[in-house]
Amino acid sequence: MGKTKQLLWFQNSTLLQNTISQGLVSKAKNVYCVLGANSETIKNQVTSNQVTFIDNVNWKEGLSSSIVAGINYVLSLENIPDAVLIMLADQPFVDSDYLDLLMDTYHANSDRVIASDYVNKNGVPAIFPKKHFNSLLKLNGDKGAKTLLNSDVTNILSILPTHKKTLIDIDSPDDYKELLKGRL
């Protein structure tokens, strides 16, 4: 991107602040934010004190290292959560309604991974029950949880969002230009 993606401006906020805000107004009990490169600069731009930041010192190892850092953190808590919802800062149209839909689906199917349905594959946002935390700790590289979400090993329930643009990622400068122009 040539810039810190999390701090790109979107609807009077940054991409990261938008993501955090949606998490905070959702049914989620806690909101954690894993940061790697430029973490101090990014933290200084977040306006909420209701989010817990987790430093990923291994960020150069790719997206999976952030998942591992987050899971290690929640495993260190006195009350380990029954599940974690993993989401990304570069999906500006993931809103609290969609997050709540995922959480409601999880509560009705708590033995299953709840994934976002990209029609031909599963992805994040996704909810992983505690029994999958060890599998998440084994992830490596820059693929995140994609391999796990698209394996036959995991009992997955895929949720198709109501709106087509919900799962759009901002992965390039051109994507960001289209976002700003309202073309996504």
Residue 34 gets which letter from DSSP? Answer: E
CB 20 within 8 A of CB 88: no
Name the strand (E) or helix (H) holding 63. Answer: helix 63-75
The predicted pLDDT at position 132 comes to: 95
Predicted pLDDT at 152: 79
- What are the residue ranges in the chain where pLDDT is below 50? none
Q: Where are the domains of the chain?
A: 5-180
Q: What are phi and psi of 104, to 5 degrees?
A: -60, -40
Q: Does domain 5-180 fall into CATH 3.90.550.10?
A: yes
Q: Is the dihedral of CA 141, 146, 150, 151 positive or negative?
A: positive
**Predicted local confidence at residue 156, as pLDDT:** 94
Look at residue 107 in the predicted model and tell me its pLDDT.
97
State if pTM tops 0.85: yes
